[in-house]
A and B are shown apart, each in its own frame.
Chain A
């Protein structure tokens, strides 16, 4: 009965590859998010999405793209992976008062 789940938990891949991280929430929330937490532990929002609007943090490279097949899912696709993409990626959802986070996906780009 996990509220926000992500797969995979760990992802190790080579530079230049394309990868996806999946996120699902069973809370019935309207808004979902993707965050990146780098090695310095700074948590930075990348995207927010509800069924009406995608808001993109302007600093996010266009190699990153969220895709939402339905209200309960927001997947993250990353093209042409770079070394600097190595980080922990968190998915979250919200109904307006605070966010619930998934367990994170630790991405390592070699």
Chain B
């Protein structure tokens, strides 16, 4: 049972570098999400995709871009990483009104 798979699990970047977090789900879910988790702030929505071919901004989209490549895959790109983007990133998927299923998280450090 793969569920939601996100890669990489750990990444260290220097300020200004770019990277892409990959996410894939095998549950045939319509909706996919990217959240970031910072201490004392819970999970904050970066971007989401309600269905294949659509993406929308969440609470904290600045500095990020996303691509819903197909129904299975939803990637998150940092074009020019900043120390403020040091965080744990979670990808998740759901049917429209069901619970979210989360990946294991990706810990990103920007120096």
A binds B: no
